[in-house]
């Protein structure tokens, strides 16, 4: 196994990258087969995830096990996601956005790590932020075209990093900082692989119990129906996809597949 933590993570997740790249969801997404309602659900879950992640980062910003990777101005996404929530859900977005049980479980796991094993925040932030800077940029362009979003970037602030002048150079800096941490690469590799397993487990569990179908906050969005009913280029080409997008469970499975794929594709392309 490579000695550098960043290289160890990259090497150990080759298989995850290949699986994500060849997943049916990713192939469909790359064709522009995405609906507004499905994408809104993706963005709402990202909001909850990043709020929790960045709260734990703030708690540990002076902790030696994480401090070298503290880049709030360059990386933190909460402010950008708040802009996106206002775009997708309106001025009262805090009352309207869904918060599914699986997302809650993911958030709880982030909180546990931040409080009990803060050194493992490194694996979470590495896979998420650098994934967003890499694979996320590809997915942004696809979503913008498929959903006919404004060229100004409205609704996609999450994918924009105005304080990162060069993504390539910043990722090099991030990896070099990470490699200075005195950590056992094997522990972090096993943790990242466990993270992917947990994400897949959430998919399996929700497919079994269909919890999104029972989540009241998924049905509390009547005010946004007019916007969501507007046909996009992708929905006109694939009418059957619009029908599927109305099924909460299907939307949730697509959303979490997006989270896994963004992390996996981004991780390996860094």
Q: What is the pLDDT of residue 187?
A: 64
**Whole-model pTM?**
0.73
Q: What is the pLDDT of residue 185?
A: 64
Give residue-wise pLDDT tens across range 243-252: 233 334 444 4
Most confident stretch, 14-23, 175-184, 217-226: 175-184
Give residue-wise pLDDT tens across range 91-139: 999 999 999 887 888 899 899 999 998 988 888 888 789 888 887 778 8
Q: Which CATH class is domain 5-202?
A: mainly alpha
Lowest model confidence (mean pLDDT) among 5-14, 53-62, 257-266 = 257-266
Q: For residue 30, name the pLDDT band (cuts at 50, 70, 90).
A: confident
Joined tokens for residue 111: 């909180």
- Checking if the pLDDT of 72 tops 90, the result is yes
Rounded Cα–Cα distance for residues 73 and 76 (Å): 6
Rounded Cα–Cα distance for residues 38 and 40 (Å): 5
Question: What is the separation of C-alpha 42 from the centre of its chain, rounded to a whole number of angstroms?
Answer: 8
Higher pLDDT among residues 42 and 192, named by residue: 42
Q: For residue 269, name the pLDDT band (cuts at 50, 70, 90).
A: very low
Q: What is the pLDDT of residue 8?
A: 72
Asked whether the beta carbons of 9 and 188 are under 8 A apart, the reply is: yes
- 137-143 mean pLDDT: 84
Whole-angstrom CA distances from 209 to 18, 195, 205 are: 29, 21, 6
Joined tokens for residue 159: 């994918």
Q: What is the pLDDT of residue 229?
A: 39
- Checking if the pLDDT of 233 tops 90, the result is no
Higher pLDDT among residues 9 and 270, named by residue: 9
- Mean residue pLDDT of the chain comes to 74
Q: What is the pLDDT of residue 38?
A: 80
- Checking if the pLDDT of 87 tops 90, the result is yes
């Amino acid at each position: 196994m490579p000695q550098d933590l960043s290289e160890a993570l990259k090497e150990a997740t080759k298989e995850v990258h290949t699986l994500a790249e060849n997943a049916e969801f990713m192939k469909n997404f790359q064709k522009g087969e995405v609906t507004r309602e499905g994408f809104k659900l993706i963005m709402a879950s990202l909001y909850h995830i990043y709020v929790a992640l960045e709260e734990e980062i703030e708690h540990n910003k002076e902790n030696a096990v994480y401090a070298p990777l503290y880049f709030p101005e360059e990386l933190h996404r909460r402010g950008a996601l708040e802009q996106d929530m206002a775009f997708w859900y309106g001025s009262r977005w805090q009352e309207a956005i869904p918060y599914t049980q699986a997302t809650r479980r993911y958030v709880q796991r982030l909180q546990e790590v931040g409080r009990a094993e803060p050194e493992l925040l490194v694996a979470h932030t590495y896979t998420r932020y650098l994934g967003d800077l890499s694979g996320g940029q590809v997915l942004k362009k696809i979503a913008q075209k498929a959903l006919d979003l404004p060229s100004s970037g409205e609704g996609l602030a999450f994918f924009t990093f105005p304080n990162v002048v060069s993504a390539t150079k910043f990722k090099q800096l991030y990896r070099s900082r990470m490699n200075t941490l005195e950590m056992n690469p094997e522990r972090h590799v096993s943790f990242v692989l466990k993270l992917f397993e947990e994400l897949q487990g959430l998919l399996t569990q929700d497919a079994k119990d269909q919890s999104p179908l029972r989540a009241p906050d998924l049905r509390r969005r009547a005010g946004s129906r007019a916007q969501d009913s507007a046909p996009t280029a992708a929905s006109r080409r694939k009418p059957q996809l619009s029908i599927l997008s109305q099924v909460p469970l299907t939307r949730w499975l697509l959303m979490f597949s997006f989270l896994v794929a963004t992390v996996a594709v981004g991780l390996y392309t860094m």
